[in-house]
């Protein structure tokens, strides 16, 4: 969401965007549908686990492949990654905006949506709908056998797709 905002506010500084696992805005309708579909009551419950069980649930939702780590590693992960829990929870709740108040900016930049085809958090349908909303300057590419953490699960495929998009930007610039 930050990249979209930067592109909207500073179009002279942002030539193009590659977006993975993010949306234009976390609307209340998207938030509710996503959390209900995943079986969580709040973003904080999903994204700020307080137990090994919660951490395993987060990884199960975020990754396509089942990831196994020893419980000790989960505990360390929780300690390191989830300090300032109250402030983080407030930030998460502050991200949610009313669906009525959301408008799609007219981006002049090329936008490439690079998505894990098995993303459970922001599913493929949501990504494809976003591509339609963004218009002709947006392209979509799905990566098989990858979830929300597509860049970590399939880094070689992800980087190949990223390089193809960057090369197409360079080719477009050379034609001008």
Q: How much is the pLDDT for 118?
A: 97
- 97-112 pLDDT, tens per residue? 998 888 889 999 999 9
Residue 91 pLDDT grade (very low, low, confident, very high; cuts 50, 70, 90): very high
At 143 the three-state DSSP class reads strand
| Residue 176 confidence (pLDDT) above 80 | no
- 51-86 pLDDT, tens per residue? 999 999 999 999 999 988 999 999 998 988 888 889
| Residue 22 confidence (pLDDT) above 90 | yes
Q: How much is the pLDDT for 126?
A: 95
Measure Cα distances from 110 to 18, 66, 81, 96 in Å: 9, 34, 33, 26
pTM score, two decimals?
Answer: 0.89
Q: How much is the pLDDT for 101?
A: 84
Q: How much is the pLDDT for 111?
A: 98
What does residue 97 show for φ and ψ, rounded to 5 degrees? -120, 160
What's the CA gap between 61 and 65, in Å, rounded? Answer: 10
DSSP 67: P
Residue limits of CATH 3.40.50.1820 in the chain? 2-24+104-175
Fold adopted by 2-24+104-175: Rossmann fold (3.40.50)
- 124-175 pLDDT, tens per residue? 999 999 999 999 999 999 999 999 999 999 999 999 999 999 999 988 777 7
Question: Which residues lie across from 165 on neighbouring strands?
Answer: none
| Residue 24 confidence (pLDDT) above 90 | yes
């Amino acid at each position: 969401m930050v990249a979209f905002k930067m592109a909207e506010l500073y179009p002279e500084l942002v030539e193009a965007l590659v977006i993975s696992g993010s949306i234009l805005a976390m609307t209340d309708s998207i938030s509710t549908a996503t959390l209900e579909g995943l079986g969580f009551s709040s973003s904080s419950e999903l994204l700020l686990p307080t137990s090994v069980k919660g951490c395993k649930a987060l990884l199960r939702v975020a990754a396509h492949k089942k990831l196994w780590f020893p419980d000790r590693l989960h505990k360390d992960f929780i300690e390191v990654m989830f300090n300032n829990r109250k402030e983080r929870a407030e930030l998460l709740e502050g991200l949610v905006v009313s669906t009525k108040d959301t408008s799609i900016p007219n981006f002049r930049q090329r936008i490439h949506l690079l998505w894990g085809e098995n993303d459970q958090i922001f599913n493929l349908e949501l990504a494809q709908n976003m591509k339609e909303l963004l218009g002709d300057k947006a392209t979509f590419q799905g990566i098989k056998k990858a979830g929300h953490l597509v860049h970590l699960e399939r880094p070689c495929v992800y980087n190949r797709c990223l390089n193809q998009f960057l090369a197409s930007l360079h080719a477009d610039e050379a034609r001008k």
